[in-house]
Structure 1
Amino acid sequence: MEPEWSILLVLLLVTVPVCAEDAALDGVWSDYWILRFLVNLTGYATIIIPGYLLVQYFRKSDYLETGRGICFPLVKTCVFGSELKAGVQEEPSASSRAETPEPSFTRQTIKLLACVVGLQASYLTWGVVQERVMTKTYGKTETDPGVKFRDSQFLVFMNRILAVLVAGLCCALSKQPRHGAPMYKYSFASISNILSSWCQYEALKYISFPTQVLAKASKVIPVMLMGKIVSRKSYEYWEYLTAILISAGVSMFLLSNSQNKHPSTVTTFSGILILAGYILFDSFTSNWQDALFRYKMSSIQMMFGVNLFSCLFTVGSLLEQGAFFQNLTFMIQHPEFAAHAGLLSICSACGQLFIFYTISQFGAAVFTIIMTLRQAFAILLSCLIYGHSVTVVGALGLATVFLSLFLRVYARSRMKSKKRAGQSQAPVQKV
Structure 2
Amino acid sequence: MAEPLPTADEVKDNKIWKGIFAVSGIMITLVIYGVLQEKIMRVPYGVNKEYFTYSLFLVFCNRITTSAVSAGSLVASKKALDPVAPVYKYCLVSVTNILTTTCQYEALKYVSFPVQTLAKCAKMIPVMIWGTFIMQKTYKGFDYLVAFLVTLGCSIFILFPAGTDLSPYGKGRENTVWGMSLMVGYLGFDGFTSTFQDKLFKGYDMEIHNQIFYTTLCSCVLSFTGLILQGHLLPAVDFVYRHNDCFLDILLLSTVATTSQFFISYTIRTFGALTFAAIMTTRQLVSIMLSCMWFGHPLSWEQWIGAVIVFGSLYSKNFWKKTSPVRPPPQQTENGASSTEKAVP
TM-score category (smaller protein)? 0.7 to 0.9
Q: Residue in 1 aligned with 2:146?
A: 242
1:4-403 correspondence runs (5 A): 117-140=24-47, 145-176=48-79, 180-207=84-111, 211-212=115-116, 215-245=119-149, 259=162, 262=165, 266-268=172-174, 269-294=177-202, 295-355=204-264, 371-380=280-289, 394=304, 398=308, 401-402=311-312
Q: Residue in 2 aligned with 1:35?
A: none
Distance 1:167 1:250, change over 3 A: same
Shift of 1:115: 5.3
Larger Rg: 1
Give distance in 1, aligned partners of 2:231 and 2:310: 50
Give distance in 1, aligned partners of 2:306 and 2:230: 50
- Give deviations 1:272-294, integer Å, cap 9, x for gaps: 32222111111111111111111
Give distance in 2, aligned partners of 1:332 and 1:393: 40
Residues 134 and 201, structure 1, Cα contact 8 Å, conserved in 2: yes
Shift of 1:303: 1.4
Residues 209 and 262, structure 1, Cα contact 8 Å, conserved in 2: no
Shift of 1:173: 0.3
Give distance in 2, aligned partners of 1:194 and 1:316: 12
Aligned residue identity for 1:237: G
Q: Residue in 2 aligned with 1:415?
A: 325
User: Which range moves more in the overlay, 276-285 or 106-115?
Assistant: 106-115
Give distance in 1, aligned partners of 2:49 and 2:250: 18
5+ residue gaps, structure 2, are 1-10, 330-345
- Give deviations 1:180-221, integer Å, cap 9, x for gaps: 322321111111111111111111222356753553232222
For normalisation by structure 2, the TM-score amounts to 0.72
Shift of 1:148: 1.5
Q: Residue in 2 aligned with 1:75?
A: none
For normalisation by structure 1, the TM-score amounts to 0.59
- Give deviations 1:53-73, integer Å, cap 9, x for gaps: xxxxxxxxxxxxxxxxxxxxx
Shift of 1:355: 4.5
Give distance in 2, aligned partners of 1:400 and 1:319: 40
Count residues with an aligned counterpart.
Answer: 309
Shift of 1:149: 1.5
Aligned residue identity for 2:285: A
